[in-house]
Amino acid sequence: MEEPSRPLLHMATHFDPDFVHVASHGRRATSTVLSLTTGTGYSVFNSAIIPAIRSAQRDVVLVTCFWAPSVTRDLISEALKHLSEKALALSRKIAVRICFSSSSLTRNMLLPTPKDGQNYPPLSWGKLGLPDAEELKGLNMRVTRKFFWPFGIIHSKYVVVDRALAIFPSCNVSWERWFEVAISCQGPVVEHLLSFHARFWDNVRSSSGNERPSDVDDLEAADSHPTAKSNIPASTTLLPSPHTPSLLPNHLRPRALIGHCPCLPDVVPDFSATPLLNTTYYLLSTARSTIIMITPNLTEPNVLEVLLQALERGVHVCIWTNRDLMTMEQLVTAGTTTPQCVKTLQARAEQAEAKGRLKVCYFDGRDGPGQQHPVLREIDRYRETIPVKLHAKVTIFDGERILLGSGNMDAASWRTSQELGVLIESRAMVEEFMKAWKYDKLEP
C-alpha cells in the first residue's frame, strides 16, 4: 500500500494534461473504451461482466468490495463452472483470482485480516457460495480477502479477462437493487491495472512497473475479448487511491476538531495525495463551465468546499445523490449526512451570491426515479433490474472528461477506504453516458 503524502495543491486556470500524468504516476495513456453499461448490479453483471468471464481462455481476475449471497453471486458460480468445463475440454487450466473485502456486514467487517490477506482453502469455497472444488477441477483458483480494522475497507472493484480486457463496475457482488455503471476497456489501462493489482493483492514490489498477478504469470495472453459496443479511443488514466487505516474517523481527529472552534482560524481541510484524490480535486478546481456529479453520498469537506468555489466563479453544478443511503456509515465516518451537507452547501452558495447555478436531485426522493415503478419492483421478471437507490460514481467536467470508478464523494472514500478511479478524456464518452442516463436531464 502506497504511503500517503501531502496533496498537490497546484492550481491552473485551465486543464493541464501534464498535471494529471504526474498526479497519476504516469498512468495516463490512450486506451480504447469498448462499452458502457448501466443498470442494477445484477443487470450490469449479467449483460457485461458474466459474458466476459465466460469468454476467458487463460485467466480471470475479479475484485469486489462486498461478496454476499445474491443472484449475482449465483451467476458468477455458474460462469466458473462453465470455465472449468471449457478448461477440461482444452486440457489446460484457466487461472481465476477472486478478491474481496467483506462477506458479512456484521461478522466479516469486524474481523481484520493479516497484511498479506486471508486465503480461503478449496474446502471452504462452498461457505462463500462458490462451487465445490470438485466442480472446478479445470481452474487454478485462489480466493483472498483483505480488510484492515477498523476502517480499512477495500472498496475498489474491477475485472480483468485474459490480460486484454478490463471492466470497471461501480457495483458489488451483492443483492442491492441500485443504479450502477460499468465501462469496459482495452489498451495500456489494462497493464496499469494489473500492475496495481499485483502490488496490492499479491504484495509484489518491483521497480519495473510491469508487475502481473503471480498466479497467471506463466500464461500467454489470449487474443479474444467480448465484442466491442462502441470502440472509443481516448486518453484514459488509472487512478488508485490507497489509504492507511486510521483508528479515528476524520471528523474526530484533532485537526478537524480544532477547525470547528469558532475562536480559532479555519483549518484548511487536507487529504492524502493519492492519484485519485489529487486528480479529482484538481479537476473540480479547474472546471470552467459545468460539473455533473453522481455520487451515492456527499459528505467530504474538501469536495463541498471546492464545489462552493466552483459556484462562486460561475461554474454550474448538477448533483445527483441519495437522501437516505448508509446513513449510519455517514455518521460514523463524517459526523453528518448528505442532506445536511447539501443544505449547507446551498445556503453558503446563496449567501456568497454565487454566479453559478446549483441543481440537486435525490434519486430516492419523493419524486425521484427510485420511487417509480413500485409494482414492477415486485414482479420476478423485473425485480432485479429496477433500481431503488443510486450507487454509481460518475463526475463529468465541462462535458469533456468523465471520471468513474469505486470512489464516492464522501468522507469514507476520501479518508479510510481503498478506491480506484478511471478518468476518460473524451466528449464522445461523455455523450455515451448522457444517452445511457434515462432520468431527468443531466444539466444544472
The mean per-residue pLDDT over the stretch 157-180 comes to 97
3-state secondary structure of 37: strand
Given a cut of 90, whether residue 239 has pLDDT beyond it is: yes
pLDDT tens digits, 269-293? 588 999 999 999 999 999 999 999 9
Inform me whether the pLDDT recorded for 213 exceeds 70.
Answer: no
Given a cut of 60, whether residue 230 has pLDDT beyond it is: yes
> What is the torsion angle, in degrees rounded to the nearest 10, for the CA atoms of residue 214, residue 61, residue 329 and residue 441?
140
3-state SS, residue 221: coil
Cell (9 digits) for 125: 469455497
pLDDT of residue 178: 97
CB atoms within 10 A of CB 231: 10
The three cell numbers of residue 36 are 458502457
Nearest to residue 322, comparing CAs of 304, 307, 339?
339
Q: Say if residue 374's pLDDT is above 90.
A: no
Beta-ladder partners of 95:
59, 140
User: How many Å apart are CA 388 and CA 132, to the nearest integer?
Assistant: 34
Structural contact between residues 365 and 342, judged by C-beta atoms closer than 8 angstroms? no
How many CB atoms are located within 10 Å of the residue 221 CB?
A: 12
Segment 318-335 shows an average pLDDT of 93
Domains and CATH numbers, the chain: 17-21+239-436 (3.30.870.10), 33-238 (3.30.870.10)
| Paired residues of 424 in beta bridges | 236, 402
CA 433, 386, 65, 393: dihedral to nearest 10 degrees? 30
- Please report the DSSP string for 72-140 in residue order: HHHHHHHHHHHHHHHHHHHTS-EEEEEEESBS-TTTGGGS---TT-EEEPGGGGGGGTPPPGGGGTTEE
Q: Is the pLDDT of residue 46 over 90?
A: yes
